[in-house]
Structure 1
């Protein structure tokens, strides 16, 4: 009988908490994206809108396009503070410059969560990211394994000063260092700013400068790896003669994996976006809030909710393979 009474009391408290949330004004969240041209960011935006709290009207998420400019993001952070948003989530452009958004949010007493890319501070409420050093290691390892840990590679980097370029670069170097000394030569490394078009131009120049010398391409995101593939094809080479890898798991990269043209390390846009919203909601609503996204069940044992109090959540990577690529494409509606 005591257990029954306790169970009924717990159920009553849960119902009361849910009713309180439903009756309250929606939690207003400003979601600051570094730029919305790339498919990965568009996927994050899609999954943010699909968060159960948003769909049920418990949260309102306003998405901001930072236009790949740290100064623009800082201005948007100040605007979010002035507009009295309940919480701020930032996908930062610059590792150092965008610390300003954390500073102004903290001064205003607004919870701030950092997602996808990182900032050189620990003053945010929490980070919901993926370990970019590991991601850079996994993609470079895929290239080097195909090459047998020998040959010439080029590295197409992300925007200089961003955490993705810094940390994925460290992972790239770690993988190269595991090969015999001098067996792998980095012929070129330069930024293409996450852009497929810029990477295409860059790769065309490198193919001209190093005719028949390049064996592998390490693209620090999929868009740039795909630009390199276009350049290789347009130059009349067989893309399957190269070892190529990227990061993100964008749709065209999934198709290229299926075609045997590259390796992609999938970064979970859904996990990052929805995880960030759950953490922000917990900070605003308080103890009545329980995580509403099913990502916590998906990654149980690898990434625990911990009552929304973990300083850094690392959303796991998935290596895209011929065995899992069809399921991933199906999830995108293809």
Structure 2
């Protein structure tokens, strides 16, 4: 059995005895807790994907309330990309009586303050979306992570491009200058962010390993931002113009920023643009034919995993059978590829 195996203590009639109590019945038996409070700290409240994930979590909390009769209060704060602000927010949520913390860490390499504050208050932390280094997650037994299988997103993004070029004409429809290569630019999410690093590396490797020759024109950090990506793309359009044949973006917002810039430029030829996340705005762009494809980052599945794990930790009940806690620490969800052609077939 793992050191943090979640288990319930079976009582008569198949019920679970909760270790925390809000009071005592007249006969001396424990009165089960009827409420829990969850604090959510996001790295940036204006991030499209994170905002969607938080809304999905709130819906999961509402459903859990209906299923169990337990009142679940959710308090959400955003740090605006500043780790020192997030540290203060964690302390505030602890002081406000939160029973479980869900933290979308600003700086995944600077976790000491968050972990120490939670540990001192004996409040479990579920980190999400931004995976900590293993050594930090091993610092205390009440630290967990919910996210996706990061490597998949980069591989699948590359596969979208490979599939586009797998027809009889190969890369010819996209190789506008006819040099037998695809000239590309890369919009990276954030310096040092694990997802950005892995998506960048594996997207390119997947394409080249399939025998498609690439020439990198440039790569830039755009911090997951549509506006920043649009600015970067405007600069590239000035420098490279129609030489750009492929745009790889670490997330959908940056892919959409590149599309925004191209639309404003008035250029007749749109390069192949591929994103990651599967946001509604990205699906709309695929419907209009400007985004070639995306890799769906399962917000619903992650939100459910976070809610079920939080509930299980607080009430010491088992996780549902279909949710696996890997190494007693990790819940990981798979990605799904969606292309414009697939979307048309579905609709």
Q: By how many angstroms is 1:54 displaced? A: 4.4
Report the equivalent of 2:13: 12
Tell me the secondary structure at the aligned position of residue 248 of structure 1.
coil
Q: Which has the larger radius of gyration?
A: 2
Q: By how many angstroms is 1:140 displaced? A: 2.9
Is 1:122 aligned with 2:137? yes
Change (3 A) 1:37 1:211: same
Report the equivalent of 2:77: 64
Q: By how many angstroms is 1:229 displaced? A: 0.7
> Could you list the per-position Cα deviations for residues 231-282 of structure 1 after superposition, in whole angstroms to 9, with x for gaps in the alignment?
112212245x411111111111001122332211111112112211211211
Is 1:252 aligned with 2:271? no
> Could you list the per-position Cα deviations for residues 191-231 of structure 1 after superposition, in whole angstroms to 9, with x for gaps in the alignment?
11111111111101101101221110011010000010111
Report the equivalent of 1:26: 35
Q: Which runs of 5+ in 2 are unaligned?
A: 1-9, 23-30, 172-180
Length, aligned pairs only? 305
Among candidates 87, 98, 115, match of residue 74 of structure 1: 87
Among candidates 285, 291, 314, match of residue 315 of structure 2: 285
Among candidates 137, 142, 149, match of residue 131 of structure 1: 149
Tell me if the contact between 2:36 and 2:71 (Cα under 8 Å) persists in the aligned partners.
Answer: yes
Report the equivalent of 1:6: none
Report the equivalent of 2:258: 228
Change (3 A) 1:11 1:48: farther
Alignment partners' CA distance in 2, 1:326 and 1:176: 24
Q: By how many angstroms is 1:69 displaced? A: 1.9
Tell me the TM-score normalized by structure 1.
0.81
Change (3 A) 1:161 1:72: farther
* Range with bigger deviation, 308-317 or 190-199: 308-317
Is 1:273 aligned with 2:273? no
Tell me the TM-score normalized by structure 2.
0.78
Tell me the secondary structure at the aligned position of residue 40 of structure 2.
strand
Tell me the secondary structure at the aligned position of residue 106 of structure 2.
coil
Tell me if the contact between 2:11 and 2:17 (Cα under 8 Å) persists in the aligned partners.
Answer: no
Q: By how many angstroms is 1:309 displaced? A: 7.1
Among candidates 201, 207, 219, match of residue 237 of structure 2: 207
Is 1:305 aligned with 2:305? no
Is 1:53 aligned with 2:64? yes
Report the equivalent of 1:320: 338
> Could you list the per-position Cα deviations for residues 146-205 of structure 1 after superposition, in whole angstroms to 9, with x for gaps in the alignment?
355731111101121323222322323432441549x21111111111111111111011
Q: By how many angstroms is 1:310 displaced? A: 3.5
Change (3 A) 1:152 1:47: same
Alignment partners' CA distance in 1, 2:88 and 2:226: 27
CA root-mean-square deviation:
3.0
Alignment partners' CA distance in 2, 1:29 and 1:115: 14
Change (3 A) 1:226 1:161: same
Alignment partners' CA distance in 2, 1:206 and 1:54: 50
Tell me if the contact between 1:54 and 1:60 (Cα under 8 Å) persists in the aligned partners.
Answer: no
Change (3 A) 1:100 1:32: same
Instruction: Please list, as runs of the form range in 1=range in 2, the aligned pairs for 1:27-176 lying within 5 A after superposition.
Output: 27-51=36-60, 52-54=63-65, 56-120=69-133, 121-123=136-138, 125-146=143-164, 148=170, 150-176=181-207
Write 1 or 2 for the structure with the bigger share of helix: 1
Tell me if the contact between 1:266 and 1:319 (Cα under 8 Å) persists in the aligned partners.
Answer: yes
